[in-house]
Amino acid sequence: MNDNKIASGEPILVTGGAGYIGSHVVRDLGEHGYRPVVFDNLSSGRAEAVLYGELVRADIADTELLGSVIRRHGIKSVMHFAAYIVVNESVAQPLKYYENNSFNCLRLLKCCLENGVENFIFSSSAAVYGMPGKVPVNELAPLLPINPYGGSKLVSEMLLRDAAAADPRFRYVALRYFNAAGADRQARIGQDYRQPTHLMTLALKTALGQFPRLEVFGTDYPTPDGTAIRDYIHVDDLAGAHLLALEFLKDGGTSSAFNCGYGIGHSVLDVVAAAKRVSGIDFKVVHAARRLGDPAALVADAGAIRRELGWAPKVPHLDDIVASAWAWEKKLAARRP
Ligand code: UFG
């Protein structure tokens, strides 16, 4: 978003706005003069992460309440983050994922259409590509998810595509996140899951002595060092993409899906090395079996979002991403020793 541009208090409904990525977007909405209205059941989010606007503590399955919030605030734009995100849990409990991520998205979408919402920004995932035939992967690659998490996001994208095709007043942007990481650079907010599963977070918590060792899941992938490759994107750059997507739709942009990543792949061992470098702590690392549902390599071709939305990432260096997460983890550790 153009940093000089200030919206004049326009209300934006943000489901899951107390969560990791949602809270960073809420921060940016507030800082750019929007008025976020957060709808979050706090199952994984934190009330204190909502730096701007009102927090409605409720489940998105409660469409009666959702509808009344949309009408009361005169909401025209919705950002939908509320979802489950743990890939291997989705393999073990697929229906839980389809119910919350797809079925509840359908109900939210219906409620939005019934109440005059025009713009919808959806948190999609690189997981919709499954095991891409070639990386970097662009938006035209086949959508063949290999786990129920990716399947549940793909179903939601299909719902949005078909709903938008049928209603000329309604448009959406699906942002396909690669691996969001890092924290607010003032360490006001960051990742704060009750049961963390993400690599960078676990590596830094291990450095802090909160876990005895870090497990590397799979060392026999067809990659240069045998560990899986991901495209780690700073959560602030990811948040910025949401504001650009909102402006794009408000300016009449067409419904679209965009990859959000840097186009740079790092292996698990690269992240471990960066975590040791940044923290200055040589924590214990052990090799373990592959984790269910993990693809070998996911790296974005992010040409489309740069071209269409003018997105220009600000924190593309792995050590800078790790450094922001490290500052946040140290703050959390001091707050809850
Ligand atoms: N990993 C380890 N040890 C750990 C944790 C993770 O080796 O303790 C490995 C994983 O096996 C994977 C890589 O580190 O190869 C990254 O794992 P994360 O759990 O950090 O992230 P994922 O790639 O599994 O998933 C994330 C989001 C998804 C999203 C996906 C898109 O959680 O929502 O990125 O790439 F779909």
List, for residues 4-23, the tens digit of each pLDDT value.
Answer: 456 689 999 999 999 999 99
Cα angle 95, 166, 79 (rounded to 5 degrees) comes to 55
Average pLDDT over residues 235-247: 98
pLDDT in tens, 297-308: 999 999 999 999
pLDDT at 4: 47
| Number of Cβ within a 10 Å radius of residue 95 | 11
C-alpha to C-alpha distance for 315 and 311, rounded to whole angstroms: 12
Residue 216 Cβ < 6 Å to ligand 1: yes
All structural domains of the chain, each given as residue ranges with its CATH number in brackets, are: 10-181+233-260 (3.40.50.720), 199-230+263-335 (3.90.25.10)
Q: How far is the CA of 198 from the centre of ligand 1 (A)?
A: 5
pLDDT at 128 over 90: yes
pLDDT in tens, 272-297: 999 999 999 999 999 999 998 889 99
CA distances from 116 to 63, 159, 173, 178, 333 (A): 14, 17, 17, 31, 44
pLDDT at 6: 62
Q: Is 33 left (phi over 0), alpha (psi -120 to 50) or beta?
A: left
Pocket perturbation via mutation, ligand 1, pick of 157, 177, 230 by most ligand atoms within 8 A of CB: 230
CA distances from 57 to 26, 30, 52, 191 (A): 15, 19, 15, 19
Which listed residue (20, 129, 149, 232) is catalytic? 149
215 close to 249: Cβ distance less than 8 angstroms:
no
Atom of ligand 1 nearest to the CA of 216: 7
Catalytic residue flag (residue 149): yes
pLDDT at 260: 98
**What share of the chain in percent tops pLDDT 70?**
98
pLDDT at 7: 67
pTM above 0.95, yes or no: yes
pLDDT at 274: 98
Model confidence band, residue 194 (pLDDT cutoffs 50, 70, 90) = confident
Residue 247 Cβ < 6 Å to ligand 1: no
Distance of CA 139 to the CA centre of its chain: 17
Q: Burial, 224: exposed, middle or buried (Cβ in 10 Å; 0-12, 13-18, 19+)?
A: exposed
pLDDT at 279: 98
Token pair, residue 145, equals 């998810």
C-alpha to C-alpha distance for 188 and 15, rounded to whole angstroms: 20
Model confidence band, residue 63 (pLDDT cutoffs 50, 70, 90) = very high
- Backbone torsions φ then ψ of 11, nearest 5 degrees: -75, 135
pLDDT at 90: 95
pLDDT in tens, 133-192: 889 999 999 999 999 999 999 999 999 999 999 999 999 999 999 999 999 999 999 999
pLDDT at 2: 47
